[in-house]
Structure 1
């Protein structure tokens, strides 16, 4: 009788059980997995595209509607103000009802408003449709909240950096496409193109974006009652103001750059679109740095470095024009560094503001985004009013530099508050 031990099978790897908060690997157009990063890029990118694709058309639209440029510029600044208000509502709605239904509803309303804008016979109807278009901001606000639903703060800063880097393709190519469409087919064609893109994004959201909010609030009133918990946090306000001044530099730029391009640099709409690539490439590069290094370097290192780089770009442009320069590259080229700096500041600042109170990520994204874009809208309006045919680009550049310096101080303040919290162990 053979009493030898029979050969044993090779030990198999122990089964893997998902840890708390762990997500399965995302697969594109698969509702059984978390949203794919490409979907988050697209839902954020459609709003970015809609914001700036019309910029080369603003002077032509002012002529078509027989109105002043300052009035037509409200298509940018009033749009930004509307997105600020809507974010206050979209965030709590998504915390109460979920990210998916609010996002689908927002894109559908955006499509209806885009068609209305393309068909608008008067400036009043156009502006009304343009304001309703702002509902697409839900894509930008909720993409951040969705990221925070899935990963902790440091990883959120990295992932938001990659999402924003991808969505930067929209503001990079948007003005170029808008300028070409304007010259070939007129300004209405810009809105028909945007509507077609919106239909494609809506289909992808329906097929890929499953619900990520697993801890919904019990009611809207409870969500708004939670705002004091955010409003009393100095750390939350620090992140918000850091983001607001960084965004303010960019929004002042998009409010004044079309005027500078036409009246001081004599650029065509398509040429203006091409020059917008400078700041967009810088923004993409800054987002790449955020995605690659934020988790290792920390949010404050990225924010401080980014704020200093952004201000340096504006200073370079000011020096160029102060020395008598007059070429368009001297205005747009140095703003590569503004884009790069913002690409480093904003992912970390946004990750910080939605991580102060993680259970209020949607509300924080909405309220913080409202402050961020509302401040930018104010600077955009101010830029439009400061510029005159005799002023040159100086009022715009000085306004942008002032916002940049304030952003540096707010970032240093936020780091100080964060260190106080770490040493005391108390929420601040």
Structure 2
């Protein structure tokens, strides 16, 4: 553990998990409602898709800003401000009368929710060395995955029993509960504040990170792996409901397969991160990712028209992400420990920006089939494996 943190009051892991889960819950809970939302607000598929794409764009840009701010002002104030924005924006979404208001609300919801996502990663790195941080992040994301796993089911039932607005009422209340808990129980972990945070210096720090081959390899490999998932969530709800005939609640139940795959990967990461080097864990994730994509291509080739066509290979992809994301992000934010917040923010920005681009591409080329989604998943997987294999060095070669 970092010696400078011996006097730091460690936040309970449950608080960190709840903070990290706010953004993913808001992202996933309304996915089953997107077809009905499109009809309710009298808009088109490509426009309603912006509630997902711009959510990811806002998440990406906010992480780019919130990381350095947490280095300068501390983790606690940034988290509290972010959750407050999340609450207000969620209520705004619930009362939206048109698609434009909903999109604006989603942008601010994402900006607030990602404070918990990016800053909690930096808090873990404040307190632990890389291997221990990887293990903790693995267990955190494994438990945290329960929320995104259950949220599509809950969102699907809320949509059927009430309307798509009910999901936003729920996340508003959850945000308020997490804010109150964080205000009372969350202590500061960053006691080495970076005072010199002018724009030019921030850009210089980002430049310092992106010229490091190790950092870039971790981030790009993780980002393209995540892009496979983002391609899936962009195309799957409409394909599953409109082509395969699934009800929103049924889509939520099938999504459990994906979340269980992700949790399995997180468990593997948490169990073995302190025993195996990060590069070996990433090789393992690449093998699982390749297997999932091969199954997807095979099902596409034989024309297998069943929900399993989507969800079996995606569960393998999710398992791969469950292994890769804790290891990739821990490796990235450990490149320059003093700039853990900045490194975490830039990594999150690159990861989510790529995800936003992928969701836009899937929506733009939507033709009523799974083809745009599958093509984006395959291409993203290829790049993920290449970056991990070619740019991430052995542990003995890591940059100090």
Of 21, 44, 52, 1:68 maps to: 44
User: Structure 1-normalised TM-score?
Assistant: 0.89
Paired position in structure 1 for 2:3: 20
Is structure 2 residue 79 aligned with structure 1 residue 96?
Answer: no
SS at match of 1:397: helix
After TM superposition, the runs of 4+ consecutive aligned structure 1 residues lying more than 4 A away are 21-24
Q: Residue deviations 1:91-116, cap 9 Å, x none?
A: 01000000000000000011001111
Deviations 1:25-47 (A, max 9, x none): xxxxxxx8311111111100111
Is 1:265–2:244 an aligned residue pair? yes
Equivalent-residue separation in structure 2 for 1:416 and 1:301 (angstroms) = 10
1:335 to 314, 318, 328: 314
1:410 to 372, 387, 390: 387
> What is the distance in 1 between the residues matched to 2:143 and 2:183?
20
Mind listing any 5+ residue stretches in structure 1 that lack a counterpart?
1-17, 25-31
Q: Is the 8 A contact 1:217 1:223 kept in 2?
A: no
CA contact (8 A) 2:80 2:182 kept: yes
Of 335, 340, 347, the residue aligned with 1:361 is 340
Q: Secondary structure at the match of 2:11?
A: coil
- Aligned: 1:232 with 2:215: no
Answering whether residue 95 of structure 2 is matched by residue 119 of structure 1, we say yes
Aligned-residue offset at 1:242 = 0.8
- Alignment partner, residue 347 of structure 1: 326
TM-score by length of 2: 0.96
Match of 1:193 in 2: 170
Q: In 1, Cα distance between the equivalents of 2:314 and 2:149?
A: 13
3-state DSSP class of the match of 1:404?
A: helix
> 3-state SS of the aligned residue for 2:392?
helix
Deviation at 1:19, TM superposition (A): 8.3
Q: Give, in angstroms, the shift of residue 184 of structure 1.
A: 0.4
**1: distance between equivalents of 2:313 and 2:227?**
17
> Residues 125-169 of structure 1: CA distance to partner in whole angstroms, max 9, x if unpaired?
111111011121011111110000000111111111011111101
Q: Secondary structure at the match of 2:9?
A: coil
Match of 1:13 in 2: none
Distance 1:211 1:165 in 2: 24
Deviation at 1:264, TM superposition (A): 1.9
Contact kept? 2:213, 2:392, Cα under 8 Å: no
Query: Is the 2:279–2:393 Cα contact (8 Å) retained in structure 1?
Result: no
- Whether 2:254 is the aligned partner of 1:275: answer yes
Alignment check: 8 A CA contact 1:311 1:401 kept: no
Unaligned runs of 5+ in 2: none
Q: Look up the match of 1:393.
A: 370
Partner Cα distance (2:357, 2:63) in 1: 16
Q: Secondary structure at the match of 1:388?
A: coil
* Residues 263-342 of structure 1: pairs in structure 2 closer than 5 A: 263-342=242-321
Map of 2:125 onto structure 1: 148
The residue aligned with 1:110 is 86
Matched-pair contact (CA < 8 Å) for 1:77–1:377:
yes
Give how far 1:23 is off.
4.6
* C-alpha distance in structure 2 between counterparts of 1:334 and 1:413, whole Å: 25
SS of 1:226's partner is helix
Q: CA RMSD in A?
A: 1.7
Q: Distance in 1 between matches of 2:94 and 2:78?
A: 25
Q: Which structure's CA Rg is the greater one?
A: 1
* Residues 245-282 of structure 1 deviation map (CA, whole Å, 9 limit, x = unaligned): 01101111111111211222111111111111111100
Q: SS at the partner of 1:337? A: helix
Instruction: Give the 3-state SS of the residue equivalent to 2:335 in structure 1.
Output: coil
For 1:134, the equivalent position in structure 2 comes to: 110
Residue 12 of structure 1 is matched in structure 2 by none
Greater Cα shift, 100-109 or 399-408: 399-408
**1:23 touches 1:34 (CA, 8 Å); kept in 2?**
no
CA distance in 1, matches of 2:3, 2:220: 33
